Structure 1
Amino acid sequence: MTLEPLLDAQPAIQIHVATVVPAALLGAYLLSRPKGTPRHRLLGKIWMGLMVITALSTFFIHELNMFYGFSPIHLLSIATLFGAWQAIAAARRHDVVRHRHIVRSIYFGGIVIAGLFTFLPGRIMNSVVFSGHDMVALAAGLVVTCAAAAIVLSSRLRPAA
Structure 2
Amino acid sequence: MTMVIVIHATAATLSLVLGAVNLARRPKGDRRHRLVGRVWVVAMYLAVLTSFAIREVNPGGFSWLHGLSAFTLVTLTVGWVAALRGRIETHRGFLRGSYVGTVAAFVGAVVVPQRAVPRLAVDHPWLLSVAAAAVLAVAWLVVALAGRPVRRRDVLISEARVPR
The TM-score normalised by the length of structure 1 is 0.71
Q: What is aligned with 2:118? A: 126
Q: What is aligned with 2:62? A: 70
Pairwise CA distance, 1:131: 5.0
Residue 58 in 1 paired to residue 84 in 2? no
3-state DSSP of counterpart to 1:118: helix
CA distance in 2, matches of 1:106, 1:97: 14
CA distance in 1, matches of 2:124, 2:72: 34
Residue 124 of structure 1 aligns with an amino acid whose one-letter code is: A
Pairwise CA distance, 1:53: 0.4
- In the TM superposition, 1:144-155 aligns within 5 A as none
Residue 88 of structure 2 aligns with an amino acid whose one-letter code is: V
- CA offsets per residue over residues 35-62 of structure 1, 9 Å max, x none? 1001111110110000000000011111
- In the TM superposition, 1:7-156 aligns within 5 A as 9-33=1-25, 34-65=27-58, 68-109=60-101, 111-119=102-110, 120-130=112-122
Q: What is aligned with 1:4? A: none
CA distance in 1, matches of 2:43, 2:9: 10
- CA offsets per residue over residues 77-112 of structure 1, 9 Å max, x none? 111111111011111221111111111111111x21
Contact 2:12 2:43 in 1 (8 A): yes
Contact 2:57 2:115 in 1 (8 A): no
CA RMSD of aligned residues (A): 2.1
How many residue pairs align between the two structures? 125
CA distance in 1, matches of 2:84, 2:104: 28
The TM-score normalised by the length of structure 2 is 0.70
Larger relative contact order (Cα-Cα within 8 Å, sequence gap ≥ 6):
1
Q: Kindly name which structure, 1 or 2, has the bigger radius of gyration based on alpha carbons.
A: 2
CA distance in 2, matches of 1:54, 1:100: 20
Any unmatched runs of 5+ in structure 1?
A: 1-8, 138-161
Q: Percent identity?
A: 35
3-state DSSP of counterpart to 1:60: coil
Pairwise CA distance, 1:65: 1.6
